[in-house]
Amino acid sequence: MRGKRLTVIASLIVVAVLLSSGGTATAHGFRPAAGNVGGASVGAQAVLYDQLTLGAPNGAASQNFETSLNTFDIQVADDFTVPAGAFFWLVTQIEIDGFYETCANQASSVNVFFNNSAGTLPGTSLYQGAFVPTAASLLSGDFVINLNPAPGLVAGRSYWLSVQANLDAGAQSCQWRWGMRSPISGNTAALVNLGDGWFYGCTVWKPLPICTGDNVDVQFRLNGSQINIVSTVYLPLISRNP
């Protein structure tokens, strides 16, 4: 057989997604842009990271008080690492073990922060928003928080999660406390109290043991989807015999 035969051999196309890792403290800080995710498929919500187990009996205050008590506004954070690989995590839900102390009041909402890691402490903010947990969880203090928009977390990197209850102390000195956890994963939890109303001397992020003496983590679970960002695309084999 004569003629020209054109063969296009299968090609490998690797499509990568670029996630912004910087930006301001907004809820849109590092969500993946639409259309640049190769082979993305969002499956059912699954557990991405879990340190909600093995709780200790105590909790760490992490609360935004009423304006008159702003010097007591306090924030706790804990770290986690996304395993290395060709994917990212889309975090759609956070579960928190916590409880109210000294009153039956419930928080109006919670502030959620994802920060970069700066060594052993939280670094710059990547994502911040106020969310209303599910009704039952808001009542109990074990918050279930659905995130919209969902932050995308890059594989192989470490982050810090902070959750802070928006709750007035009022006449009953209401507090919400984030359940502690004795086994420590990565770094110990961290604390900041800008106004130093608690007299911890932690007006910048410091390890929780230095601030309060509690050498612990706090309890949380991240749910969502693990989304592949590398896809292999094979072009069809074309034969032409004129």
Identity of the residue, 172 or 232, whose beta carbon is nearer to Ca ion in the bound complex: 172
Identity of the residue, 95 or 217, whose beta carbon is nearer to Ca ion in the bound complex: 217
Candidate residues 78, 95, 97, 142; the one interacting with Ca ion per rule CB under 5 A: 78
Identity of the residue, 63 or 225, whose beta carbon is nearer to Ca ion in the bound complex: 63
Identity of the residue, 17 or 178, whose beta carbon is nearer to Ca ion in the bound complex: 178
Which among 94, 70, 67 has a CA at the least distance from the CA of 80?
94
Residues 178-207 that bind Ca ion (CB under 5 A): 185-186
Q: What is the DSSP letter of 237?
A: P
Q: What is the DSSP letter of 232?
A: B
Q: Give yes or no for residue 64 binding Ca ion (CB under 5 A).
A: yes
Candidate residues 95, 142, 214, 217; the one interacting with Ca ion per rule CB under 5 A: 217
Q: Give yes or no for residue 79 binding Ca ion (CB under 5 A).
A: yes
Closest distance of CB 235 from Ca ion, Å: 46
d(CA 227, CA 229): 6
Q: Give yes or no for residue 164 binding Ca ion (CB under 5 A).
A: no
Task: Classify 110 in phi/psi space as left (phi over 0), alpha (psi -120 to 50) or beta.
Answer: beta
Identity of the residue, 22 or 156, whose beta carbon is nearer to Ca ion in the bound complex: 156
Which among 77, 49, 61 has a CA at the least distance from the CA of 178?
61
Nearby residues of 179 by Cβ (< 8 Å), 6 or more positions away: 55, 56, 58, 59, 96, 97, 98, 99, 218, 219
Cα–Cα distance list, 75 to 68, 118, 152, 218, 223 (Å): 17, 17, 23, 12, 22
Q: Give yes or no for residue 215 binding Ca ion (CB under 5 A).
A: no
Candidate residues 59, 73, 141, 223; the one interacting with Ca ion per rule CB under 5 A: 73
Q: Give yes or no for residue 70 binding Ca ion (CB under 5 A).
A: yes
Task: Reply yes or no: is the peptide bond before residue 149 cis, omega within 30 of 0.
Answer: yes
Q: Which residues bind Ca ion (CB under 5 A)?
A: 64-65, 70, 73, 78-79, 185-186, 217
